[in-house]
Amino acid sequence: MPINVQPDLPAKKVMEEENIFMMDHTRAGSQDIRPLNIAILNLMPLKEDTEVQLLRCLSNTPLQVEVTFLNTGSYIGTNTSKNHLDQFYLTYEDIKNNFYDGLIITGAPVENKDWEDVIYWDEITQIMEWSKTNVTSTLHICWGAQAGIYYHYGIDKYELDSKISGIYTHRVHNRKVPLLRGFDDVFLAPHSRYTEIRKKDVENNPDLTILADSDEVGLFLVMAKNGKQIFMFGHPEYDRLTLDLEYKRDLGKGLEPKVPVNYYKDDNPDNKPLLTWRAHSNAIYTNWLNYYVYQETPYKWT
């Protein structure tokens, strides 16, 4: 799929080096089709890494996609340069009158805070409320999924005894749901989190459907309103080395993290991790774009 971004976005060069078709605004403007407009609210601290990960996931369909990156206006992190944010990011105030075919809300390193203690919580809730009327389908990831299912359905998170980190096996439910088209009975996906949404709380809500879960780490994929809201509690967008970097970062902080499960060969952090989840990750994003965005969104918003 041609991904349409600003021509000088650093992630564009990374993607082109991976032989992924990227497009700039000039070429996109010469094509007589309407691109899908996807907004990405990037709450991750290393925003440039997340940009590459998500653009890679969105690159496996023939549809043209125009991406707008969003940052919170109420909090500016220090792990990404101000120049990068000023050049490539907008805030809710910039786009609140716009309509988008799809919205992605990423995870964020604030799991151990109460909702109202998150500096940008009021802004996040504004965006989630806005998404009900101005977005065809919203895909929430990890903390974004926990925040979304709490805001929309009142289902709270619970702290875990220790951090979940690793590659876990999940089983598919409701196979006929298009989001799972092409999936095997079981699949692997990364998780990295300190909190959880409990399965029984979701099962008790008739508006929510569990699409995939794990015996080891619980929920992975939950859907509401026929795909208007999708909650993904893992990180299938992660690169091969993302968990490795997190593990070594936590080691350096003296946090004594556990070795990520089912990740390094022989559970030895000196070994290169195997990439075992990319195919199903691609399938999730491709199915989301096709069946819940492209097939559902109006050609012209009114």
Q: Active-site positions? A: 142, 235, 237
Q: Are the C-beta atoms of residues 102 and 138 closer than 8 Å to each other?
A: yes
Q: Which of 143, 129, 211, 206 is nearest to 177 (CA)?
A: 211
**What are the start-end ranges of the E strands in the chain?**
3-4, 22-23, 36-41, 65-70, 89-90, 100-105, 135-141, 158-172, 186-196, 208-214, 218-224, 229-232
Phi and psi of 165, rounded to 5°? Answer: -150, 125
> Would you give the DSSP letter of residue 293?
I
Contact 142, 192 (CB under 8 A): yes
279 phi, psi to nearest 5 deg: -60, -45
Q: Could you tell me which residues come within 8 angstroms of residue 64 by beta carbon, excluding any fewer than 6 positions away?
A: 1, 2, 4, 23, 28, 31, 33, 35, 36
Report d(CA 155, CA 57) in Å as an integer. Answer: 28
